[in-house]
Structure 1
Amino acid sequence: DQIIARHVGRDTMLPSLEMSMRGEGYFSNSLPRNSISWVNTKLPATRDTNPRTIYDRMFRKASEGVTDKGVIDLVNDQAKSLKRRVGQADQRKIDEYMEALRAVERRMEFAEKQAGKSALGQARGVEFKRPPVGIPDDHETYMRTMMDLMVLGFWSGATRVGSLMLDHGQSNRYFDFIDGVRGTWHALSHYRDISGKTGDDDGINSWKTVSQKRDMYNEVTAWHHRQFAYMLGKMKSIDEGNGTLLDNTMLLYGSSLGDGHAHGEENLPIIFAGGGGGTVRSGRYLKYRRNYSLSKYHLATMQRMGVPVEEFAEVDSPMSGLTKRV
């Protein structure tokens, strides 16, 4: 996503939007464990967990700070003149400064467009309500609010690239709000351990059989599927004139593990949704050969977004059967 953001992000106020649900338990404050978007192989992208903060980044802050475009133009001209008279190190500093100015310009232009977009959105039933302070106590409300914000970011044009991490891999979040489920998400993922006495357990809950624990784990998985379905429904309800927002978007939903107990990285369950502007063939179940890399999907997505790249990670060809010819 960050490679795509570097390619298309100059055209939007936010190059990309990185979000994650606030974690619970061990490693909840660890940035690497709570990030699925990485700037490079060593640096995770800073992510937001607070709905109001995310909303303000996209909308309210657009009207703050410098408001005179003439001043920005003047400073730009002076920076360009200065750049011709300094060494390479100072030139790089000036480039960084000018990019910051361009970001301000994008915010100003976006703010000007937003008034008309908001009126149009209200006419079409798209709400632009600012989230309340803090993080909702109800987990479903929290997650759906975060999904609403991503949908709003895409529809408003604030960004074309976004990610939302639903929880980190060792989450100690309890899902006892689901009928018949007890234990933390991480403990339930190790469904073959039923004693409740391993390092993955809370020392309180135990289970009678592997089948019982696995069923609870599946209920948690199904709950997350329903939240994703909610997001797709929201996007499908927004008419953009040339199709719905869902028709004009590509979404990847899934997990980095095919088996939570064994930490298996094979047979990953992945849903690819959206029409990609009419370039993607959807509504099919595709089964690939053993060791078929998910990187092929990422390469295909980058190419759909116009990134001039022929290889990614360990692959040099995109996922087959995914896209239509354009």
Structure 2
Amino acid sequence: MADHQFSRRTMLRGLGVTMALPWMESLSVWGDETPSITPASQAPTRMAILFSGCGYHRHEWWAKGQGKSMELGKVLAPLNDFRDRMTFIRGLYNAEALKGNIHSSQTGNLLSGAPLTAGGTIRSGTSVDQVVAQKIGHQTKLPSLVLGCEKANPSVHKNYSMLYSSHISWSSPTTPTPLEVYPALAFDHLFKESAQLGDKSVLDAVLADAKDFRRDISTLDQHKLDEYLNSVRDVEQRIERAGKRGEMQGWRPTLTGPNIPRPADGYPQDIVEHMRLMSDILVLAFQTDTTRVCTLKLNNDHGTLRFPHLGVDYMIHHLLSHNDTDDWLKVNQFFLEQVAYIARKMDSIREGDRTLLDNSMLMLCSSMLNGHHDANQLPVVMVGGGGGRIRGGQNLDYLEKPDRQMCRLYLSMMDKMGVQLDSFGDATQPLDEV
């Protein structure tokens, strides 16, 4: 058996499969050269950026007060349990997004603050997640993980490419980062040597190595290993069940014309299960230290998702955003429930004296405050401790202050990921409070 205890990174290996393991007290996982109990402070900091397009209900996106007694608007109600772990930020904006005043021009540079090229030409800026990935990505199997629940739209809208509204992650000014919308392929990226579908279970492939490895760790870590492997199996089985119902996002017809009468309106996939699978994969990626940088685009700006499970099936997401109705509020809360689900799951994973949530920054943002294209201030909420460097329970308001560039927040986030830059986008200094 390979000497796991002295490996710089602890892995289980099988035919065509490499599985990174979660933090364990009896092993040196993140860089110690001799076996010891690794303090929680040495666990890596992770950064996840979640996005939902078209903003939120303009009367229900707000926070008042501080800490556990913070009052939240109805949109943010799913995060009530995390008020002392969250940071609500009001008033940041992206100056370049004000120039086009349409969805594409407000989204394509959301994570970079870069000028956009119109006329159907593609040119934006390298996004904050990919700047971090390019600096620290060599430390993990995957530099970053870029996930989505709605496929990209390559058309042009009002002189701007819709690729801008379909991608928040950009590897270079002219290259949107490849977006994985298939849960099975995203799962393969984490655990297989190459992204390919296969019949063999990831767990089956590493089972022999896991049995040998289990004998050399503490009883506490044996329980942790068992829980982790069970969570991997659960995701595998759910993906398999979803596949038997037919492909999820990205389904392609097998006929050139319909062979049945037109069915009732409705979205042709289980969007609830799709988002939960992607959320679980994000957590697994962080839990295994397969990557420390992830973006999850829950939908496109100017998107076409429908929400029959909410009883809101008469209009697509983009059109719903134009009016602040009770149905729009239901959709907003559904997206915030995904953030709460990820936060709760991360908070249940112990990493020494902290949790995975304590060691992470989970940020939700949108390209406009509400569906009326108001980008003078952007909706931002963060959950997590950023490796012990972010104080929770904060309610920050920059609306009437100078230097309220969104890119100042990115400078702060990059600093916590070990990436120090003198400037980014239109910002030259980080936010001191974050």
Q: TM-score over 0.5 for the alignment?
A: yes
Query: Which amino acid in the other structure matches residue 376 of structure 2?
Result: E
Once the two structures are superposed, the pairs formed by residues 136-285 of structure 1 within 5 Å of their partners are 137-179=269-311, 182-191=314-323, 214-261=325-372, 263-285=373-395
Q: Which residue does 1:309 correspond to in 2?
A: 421
Q: Which residue does 2:147 correspond to in 1?
A: 19
Q: Which residue does 1:6 correspond to in 2?
A: 134
3-state SS of the aligned residue for 1:33?
helix
Are 2:191 and 1:55 aligned?
no
Deviates more, 1:279-288 or 1:151-160: 279-288
Once the two structures are superposed, residues 271-297 of structure 1 have per-residue CA deviations (whole angstroms, 9 ceiling, x without a partner) of: 111111111111221111347111111
Once the two structures are superposed, residues 185-230 of structure 1 have per-residue CA deviations (whole angstroms, 9 ceiling, x without a partner) of: 1001111xxxxxxxxxxxxxxxxxxxxx522212111111111111
27 and 217 in structure 1: CA distance in 2 versus 1, 3 angstrom threshold: farther
Once the two structures are superposed, residues 69-124 of structure 1 have per-residue CA deviations (whole angstroms, 9 ceiling, x without a partner) of: xxxxxxxxxxxxxxxxxxxxxxxxxxxxxxxxxxxxxxxxxx89x94599644236
180 and 48 in structure 1: CA distance in 2 versus 1, 3 angstrom threshold: closer
Query: Residues of 2 paired with 1:153 and 1:3: CA distance?
Result: 19
Q: Which has the higher strand share?
A: 2
The answer (yes or no) to whether the contact 1:24–1:172 under 8 Å persists in 2 is: no
The TM-score, its normalising length taken from structure 2, stands at: 0.54
**Cα RMSD for the two superposed structures:** 2.9
Determine what percentage of the aligned residue pairs are the same residue.
Answer: 30
Query: Residues of 1 paired with 2:293 and 2:338: CA distance?
Result: 20
24 and 41 in structure 1: CA distance in 2 versus 1, 3 angstrom threshold: closer
Shift of 1:145: 0.6
The answer (yes or no) to whether the contact 1:21–1:165 under 8 Å persists in 2 is: yes
3-state SS of the aligned residue for 1:183?
coil
Query: Residues of 2 paired with 1:126 and 1:281: CA distance?
Result: 33
124 and 162 in structure 1: CA distance in 2 versus 1, 3 angstrom threshold: closer
Q: Which residue does 2:227 correspond to in 1?
A: 123
Query: Which amino acid in the other structure matches residue 360 of structure 2?
Result: T
3-state SS of the aligned residue for 1:307?
coil
Deviates more, 1:131-140 or 1:13-22: 131-140
Once the two structures are superposed, the pairs formed by residues 87-98 of structure 1 within 5 Å of their partners are none
3-state SS of the aligned residue for 1:256?
coil
Query: Which amino acid in the other structure matches residue 182 of structure 1?
Result: Y
Q: Which residue does 1:196 correspond to in 2?
A: none
The answer (yes or no) to whether the contact 2:365–2:381 under 8 Å persists in 1 is: yes
Query: Residues of 2 paired with 1:148 and 1:27: CA distance?
Result: 31
Shift of 1:142: 0.7
Q: Which residue does 2:409 correspond to in 1?
A: 297
Once the two structures are superposed, the pairs formed by residues 28-107 of structure 1 within 5 Å of their partners are 31-61=163-193
Query: Residues of 2 paired with 1:190 and 1:300: CA distance?
Result: 33
Query: Residues of 1 paired with 2:145 and 2:339: CA distance?
Result: 18
Query: Which amino acid in the other structure matches residue 293 of structure 1?
Result: Q
44 and 25 in structure 1: CA distance in 2 versus 1, 3 angstrom threshold: closer
Shift of 1:180: 5.5
Once the two structures are superposed, residues 157-177 of structure 1 have per-residue CA deviations (whole angstroms, 9 ceiling, x without a partner) of: 110101000111111222232
The answer (yes or no) to whether the contact 2:151–2:181 under 8 Å persists in 1 is: no
3-state SS of the aligned residue for 2:170?
coil
316 and 240 in structure 1: CA distance in 2 versus 1, 3 angstrom threshold: same
The answer (yes or no) to whether the contact 1:253–1:272 under 8 Å persists in 2 is: yes
Query: Residues of 1 paired with 2:154 and 2:315: CA distance?
Result: 15
Query: Which amino acid in the other structure matches residue 417 of structure 2?
Result: M
Larger RCO (CA within 8 A; separation ≥ 6): 2
Query: Which amino acid in the other structure matches residue 162 of structure 1?
Result: C
Q: Which residue does 1:77 correspond to in 2?
A: none
Instruction: Tell me the matched-pair count.
Output: 253
Query: Which amino acid in the other structure matches residue 362 of structure 2?
Result: L
3-state SS of the aligned residue for 1:252?
strand
156 and 260 in structure 1: CA distance in 2 versus 1, 3 angstrom threshold: same
